[in-house]
A and B are shown apart, each in its own frame.
Chain A
Amino acid sequence: MSCLHIKHLTVTFETLMGTVVAVDDVSFDHESKETLALVGETGCGKSVIASSILKLLPDNANLSGEILYGDKDLLRLSERELADIRGQEISIIFQNPTLALNPVYRIGDQISELFRVHKRASSKKSKAYATSLLGRMGFKDPEHAFHMYPSQFSEGMNQRVLIALALALHPKIIIADEPTKGLDDQLKEEILKELMKIKEEKESSLFLITHDFDAARNIADRVALMYCGQIVEIALSPDFFDEPFHPYARGLLKSLPSHDFAPIPGASPSMISPPEGCRFHPRCAERLEVCSHEMPEPIKKSGRIIRCFLYR
């Protein structure tokens, strides 16, 4: 059963340089309890999708399409209705935990705040919740951790706090926006393991945004690949990594150090004036004549969704 339908989501930004199309006609479903990894290069628009789901985009963003959560369209909810969903039913983990936490409040108070806002819990009760949560996130002395400030914690510890916050109210969906960016490999693994363990426990679904293919391969059930604002392929994780369909996917996997280390020729296109036709055609080794002037529509093909004329 799917818990989130994204239909024809398009996000544009008005800037001084022109209109940036960050997300272009993206549609996909997110099943309950599954882990869906959205992968792509930096700047391809994947974080914008994450922020659109909770409507956390700046004022100069224009959104169109639908994001259906149950019977509600998140894009058309009022700020008050959204606030009820944020943090409680859909939570998000950012990539810079130390910047995401308020430097002048104690860690514990920032966790308690969640219970006070959503559950109207008393300060004593929310403090107890927060302390036990810190204990479960592997802090040896949760009482002590409660009284610490973000600046006194390492990046990894703060990321644990953010994960604790994201899971505290048993949300249906957890969005993790590059949660391990900037952490060392060992910590990365630990954090992801922690995330998966609790996600299983709470029966939440996880929407993981990452540019780290290994992480996606290790934990995701399905993988969605993005290129220049569009999703070009969605497939079950084993299928995707064994035999990618889209030429871009094949190129990317070949460019990994564990494979041939062969880069894709050319550079990512500008988001202000993307190439005509298939976005990828200027760099594509297998392009057809049609690719340069017609945009391929997403089609279903052997259990995958793919946006490429080769599979028409």
Chain B
Amino acid sequence: MKKPALPRQNGSAQKKSLSSLLAVVLFLVFFILALCANIIAPHDPWERFDPYLPPSVEHWLGTNDLGHDILSELIYGSRVSLLVGLGAAVLATAIGLCVGLFAGYYKGVTDEILMGITDVFLMIPRIPLIILLAAFLKPSFWIIALVIGFLWWTSTARVVRSKSLQVSEMNFVLSSKCLGFSDKHIIFTDIFPNIIQIVIPKFMLTVAAAMITEASLSFLGLGDPSMKSWGMMINFAFTKGGLINALWWWFIPPGLCIMFFVYSVVLLGYSLEEKEQAVLGIS
């Protein structure tokens, strides 16, 4: 009769926290780079040196066609990724939270309508739509963040809805209802705190998706021309012969930066969500 529910631990608890630590450190490094770019960067990213310089002591990652120092560009570029990623994710999570909470709490017709809208949004080909919008808008980075935020809330809404459906059936919520608290009060003081632990990992994944989307848009040349992002650096390298001339220091580092930053965010998200961690089993 004894069927222990707890699986055997592989004795990797230490390893687990080690790689979560790695994710935190990586994230903090990028965060500090973005915050203190003007202090850390060796040069002004718009300052011109000799073009096409390979990596050297003077320029660790060489220079591009205009003679800009690539390392400095990279350090400044982290600002765009961070701003767009966090900005879009905050907006998307806010929308997803509201839609999910209301749908899950009020149920019935409200639920039907809100989830109907979510289903439609889920089917919109998001990247093509953003390309279309960006083509019309000639955007700045905060418009990009806004558009991404408005399109990336659907999966958060779904997760929040199913969780708040569960929570709103629990006794303490039912008793709050009986005591005559307002719906608003119940949603924000009783249900919301129980949902936050599933929202945070979702938030991190949205940050990752937004960063990849921003990079992709910039790669198409649709980024904010006033702030050179990593995606845009790759776009310049690609369209101005960096690839053909094998100037690897021009397009590989920004791509690696995107990968590492996204990796740290995704891993952070997973390690915040115990269940997902078990599913991934690597962290």
A60 touches B2 (CB 8 A): no
Asked if A16 is an interface residue, CB under 8 A from chain B, the answer is: yes
Q: Looking at the complex, which one of A14, A44, A58 makes contact with B3 (CB distance below 8 Å)?
A: A58
Which residues from 12 to 65 on chain A have a C-beta closer than 8 Å to any C-beta of chain B? 13-17, 20, 22, 42-48, 58-60
B8 touches A60 (CB 8 A): yes
Which residues from 1 to 28 on chain B have a C-beta closer than 8 Å to any C-beta of chain A? 1-4, 6-9
CB distance from A100 to the nearest CB of B (A): 14
Q: Looking at the complex, which one of A16, A17, A46, A58 makes contact with B1 (CB distance below 8 Å)?
A: A46
A271 to B8, CA, bound (A): 18
A44 to B6, CA, bound (A): 18
Residues of A within 8 A of B6 (CB): 15-17
A14 touches B2 (CB 8 A): no
Q: DSSP class of A's interface residues: helix, strand, loop or mixed? A: loop
A14 touches B1 (CB 8 A): no
B9 touches A271 (CB 8 A): no
CB distance from B11 to the nearest CB of A (A): 11
A22 touches B2 (CB 8 A): yes
Residues of A within 8 A of B9 (CB): 16
A17 to B8, CA, bound (A): 11
CB distance from B283 to the nearest CB of A (A): 19
Q: Looking at the complex, which one of A14, A42, A43, A44 makes contact with B8 (CB distance below 8 Å)?
A: A14
A45 to B2, CA, bound (A): 6
A/B pair count, beta carbons within 8 Å:
33
Residues of B within 8 A of A17 (CB): 6
A48 to B9, CA, bound (A): 21
Residues of A within 8 A of B2 (CB): 13, 20, 22, 43, 45, 47-48, 271
CB distance from A2 to the nearest CB of B (A): 25
| Size bracket of the B interface | under 10
A47 touches B1 (CB 8 A): yes
A20 touches B1 (CB 8 A): no
Residues of A within 8 A of B4 (CB): 13, 15, 20, 58, 60
A59 to B4, CA, bound (A): 11
A294 to B9, CA, bound (A): 34
Which residues from 228 to 282 on chain A have a C-beta closer than 8 Å to any C-beta of chain B? 271
A42 to B3, CA, bound (A): 11
Residues of B within 8 A of A45 (CB): 1-2
A48 touches B1 (CB 8 A): yes
Residues of B within 8 A of A16 (CB): 6, 9
Residues of B within 8 A of A13 (CB): 2, 4
Which residues from 187 to 212 on chain B have a C-beta closer than 8 Å to any C-beta of chain A? none
Residues of B within 8 A of A60 (CB): 4, 7-8
Residues of A within 8 A of B3 (CB): 47, 58
B75-108 near A? 1/0 per residue, CB < 8 Å: 0000000000000000000000000000000000
**Which residue of A is nearest B7, CB measured?**
A60
B7 touches A43 (CB 8 A): no
Which residues from 138 to 152 on chain B have a C-beta closer than 8 Å to any C-beta of chain A? none
Residues of B within 8 A of A42 (CB): 1
A60 to B9, CA, bound (A): 9
**Which residue of B is nearest A48, CB measured?**
B2
**Which residue of A is nearest B8, CB measured?**
A60
Residues of A within 8 A of B1 (CB): 22, 42-48
**Which residue of B is nearest A209, CB measured?**
B1
A182-208 near B? 1/0 per residue, CB < 8 Å: 000000000000000000000000000
Q: Which of B2, B6, B8 has the most CB of A within 10 A?
A: B2
CB distance from A133 to the nearest CB of B (A): 30
Residues of B within 8 A of A43 (CB): 1-2
Residues of B within 8 A of A46 (CB): 1
CB distance from B261 to the nearest CB of A (A): 35
Residues of B within 8 A of A47 (CB): 1-3
CB distance from A6 to the nearest CB of B (A): 17
Residues of B within 8 A of A22 (CB): 1-2
Can you report 27 A-B residue pairs in the complex whose CB atoms are below 8 A from each other? A13-B4, A15-B6, A15-B8, A16-B6, A16-B9, A17-B6, A20-B2, A20-B4, A22-B2, A42-B1, A43-B1, A43-B2, A44-B1, A45-B1, A45-B2, A46-B1, A47-B1, A47-B2, A47-B3, A48-B1, A58-B3, A58-B7, A59-B8, A60-B4, A60-B7, A60-B8, A271-B2
Q: Which residues of chain A have a CB within 8 Å of any CB of chain B?
A: 13-17, 20, 22, 42-48, 58-60, 271
With A15-B8, A17-B6, A22-B1 given, name 15 new contacts (CB 8 A).
A13-B4, A14-B8, A15-B4, A16-B9, A20-B2, A20-B4, A22-B2, A43-B1, A43-B2, A45-B2, A48-B1, A59-B8, A60-B4, A60-B7, A60-B8
